[in-house]
Structure 1
């Protein structure tokens, strides 16, 4: 306490800093505690939302890959609605609120859009359970790759052995005919071939990589089957050359659909 005399009056200056700090703390600390409790309460909610989103994205990724061998509008909504409640025990309600399959927008085709709503309960810091509604939207694009059939800047389709050999071959090459072709399981493959009983290929799902002997075989096989020793895949000739493959000395590596010309121009 400080005193200062001015004429007949005495002015007292009271400087009580400790009291000021206590008042500020009394005002700020409750807000700080509330903020910490809100942060603690929201972290589990964010974690659950992230897991739900991951499940939906994983099913979207699988559908994008499987679309190369089949087209099914109902597959993705059904798989998502089955997976999320099964893997997330906190989810009490999950449904697809919107779905578009292979649509075109902004100049891009073969797009997939899925909207969903999940409801789950999360315990709050005070011990009560809060009802959380999570709305999400995931968009992707189906597999749109296609073999180049010749013309333009492409070099045409040739065959290579990715695990053995450094040459590219024509489809009619005897080396190619003696080995199996890697493809993906589709309804067409199921119609043309039966599953190999030795490797239990019948358990393979649509879109799985399988191997077939196109000219002589009657079954499709899995990678671990004893019948699969060497296999070939089809690719563009220019891409094969870029990867270091050279023409087969026997067939010349003539792309499919291109006749081999002899002699000068």
Structure 2
């Protein structure tokens, strides 16, 4: 006659066989989430850092920088190796106005490739969005912009004016604009691209101060009091120009 004897050791063995795989999967999943969040944090930090640099140079770069996307991609791939793929930037709007001039917005899309050692692994898509204001030395006209208004997309339309002479607005390539100094703010980029004027001793100007540069001629930045600066030009949204009484240039059509 056969008999069956149940022991505590046998019960523990069965219990371990059931719950140990679940425990291992849980630990591996937790480790995967930690790696995923580390990659995401590293990518977002680089994204914000590059956006900060873009904002600080906006006063000098009025047109959408063509190298921003390639520079950001190169940095992300360099810092994250094979942990990310399919990096793409879309909805990139540069220096548009929606109640506040100088807004910049963009979406960053990428896949996280942190592998979990089980068969049903696939890259996880992530999307990050930023909206911020470029350092353009402008003050806000009108009322504060709410979140609903910020989410609306609007292209920027800049024209050029002489704040101290005339009431016409021009396109950037207008012959009246080409040879005049542009009002801007001192940045590290300007110090690298231009020399200080020896007449007005502009070398002592601090970052953030107003300076004047000749875009298509000359390699010097000036103070506003410099005798070289007779009249100057600056960019403005076409709607703001119209509100301030500017009319289109008869030569170029006003932009």
TM-score relative to the length of structure 2: 0.47
TM-score relative to the length of structure 1: 0.46
Greater CA radius of gyration, 1 or 2?
1
Give the structure with the higher percent strand: 1
